[in-house]
Amino acid sequence: MSDKEKSQIEKQGSTRRTFLKNSGLAVGGLILGGAVGSMFDRNSEIGVKTEQKSQTQANNPNEALMFFYPEEYQTTAAAAERIFPKDDLGPGAMELNAAIYIDHQLNSGWGVNEKDYKLGPYYKPEPTQGEQNRLYRKDLFRLGLKELNTYSNKNYKKKFTELEANEQDEVLAAFEKGKASSLSGASSSAFFQLLRTLTIEGVYADPLYGGNKEMLGWQMRKYPGSRMSYTKEIQSKEFLKLDPNSLQSHMKHS
């Protein structure tokens, strides 16, 4: 690891500590009324002004939970942030609302594998045969979140959200390798892959789905989103940076 990366992780770690202190989560035990409000206050981490925050919330009723319980949401937000962390390029998964996105996806037909083949029997697959897993995605994810905490408690005597960034990375790496306990028959790596996929989607899917907040995910990589025509741009030798458009801009002509 380069020094730069190290200092980045340290920086994130210390921001995290401040965040945890502010949100009252680090105290352990029962979370009391006062802490609950700040639990959803992702913005406290980046220090956005309160007026702005309350306005966003008023504008966006979509920023609420339909699947997760609050602690699950916290764990998801923290884990997603490690997959796609904030850095000098721009916001990470947490700020981009990837966890809101994940919450909504797991509550959709996709969360219950509606378009997957689900008839039995189930056998252990060879590596070339894809997942053969009875669990719904929503349940796999929920069990995975629980196991993140169990594993963290066992190895670090703390919940996942209380760990330093580098410790969280260690936990996630163990999951990636399938080293955590089996999740009702599914490997912890299946959970990790789901987390990774969902995080990337939550960062880059159309904001209509609840993530990619204010299209900042797209902006970071100079992706213009959904526009009607690129005939001019594809002919240009110079790189043309365009402001992103979301699918909402197509409602005009639908």
Partner 1 sequence: MAKKLPKVPVVVVGMGWAGGIIASELTKAGIKVVGLERGKERDMSDYLMVHDELRFQHREELMQDLSKETITHRNNQKMRALPMRNYGTFIVGEGLGGAGSHWNGQTYRFLPYDFEIKSLTETRYGKNKIKSDYPIQDWGITYDQIEPYYDTFEKMAGISGETVKLYGKRSNPYPTGPMIKTPVLAEFEQAAKKLGYKPYMIPSANLSENYENPDGISRSACQYCAFCENFGCEYGAKADPVVTVIPVAKKTGNLDLRTYSNVTRILNDGTKATGVIYVDTFTGEEFEQPAEVVVLASYVFNNVRLLLNSNLGIPYDPKTRNGVIGKNYCYQVSSGYSSLYYNDREFNIYGGAGALGIEIAEFTGDNFDHSDVNFLHGAGIRTTQYGNRPIANNNSPIGTPSWGAEFKKQSIKYANSILQVKSQGASMPHIQNYLDLDPTYKDVYGMPLLRMTYDYTAQDRELVKYMAKVTRSIAKKMGPDHIDTVAEQADFNVNTDTNTHNTGGVIMGADPKNSAVNTYLQMWDAENVFVAGSSAFPHNSSFNPTGTLGAFSYRAAEGIVKYLKKGGSLV
The span from the CA of 185 to the CA of 183, in Å, is: 5
Give the bridge partners for 225, in sequence order.
Answer: 245
Specify the residue, 72 or 210, whose C-beta has the smaller distance to partner 1. Answer: 210
Question: How far apart, in Å, do the first and last CA atoms of the chain sit?
Answer: 50
Least distance CB 226 / partner 1 (angstroms): 3
Specify the residue, 152 or 244, whose C-beta has the smaller distance to partner 1. Answer: 244
Half-sphere exposure at residue 250, Cβ-oriented, CA atoms within 13 angstroms: 11
Least distance CB 154 / partner 1 (angstroms): 23
Site string for partner 1, 171-210 (x = CB under 8 A): -x---x-------------------x--xxx--xxx-xx-
Least distance CB 169 / partner 1 (angstroms): 6
48 C-beta neighbours (distance < 10 Å), count: 14
Tokens standing for residue 232: 């001019």
Distance of CA 73 to the CA centre of its chain: 9
Q: Write out the binding residues for partner 1, residues 118-157 only, by CB under 8 A.
A: 118-119, 121, 123, 125-133
Q: 30 vs 24, 35, 155, CA distance in Å?
A: 10, 10, 22
Size of the site for partner 1 (CB under 8 A): 67
* Footprint of partner 1 (CB under 8 A): 5, 8-9, 82-85, 87, 89, 92, 110, 113-119, 121, 123, 125-133, 169, 172, 176, 196, 199-201, 204-206, 208-209, 217-218, 220-231, 233-237, 239-240, 247, 250-251, 253-254
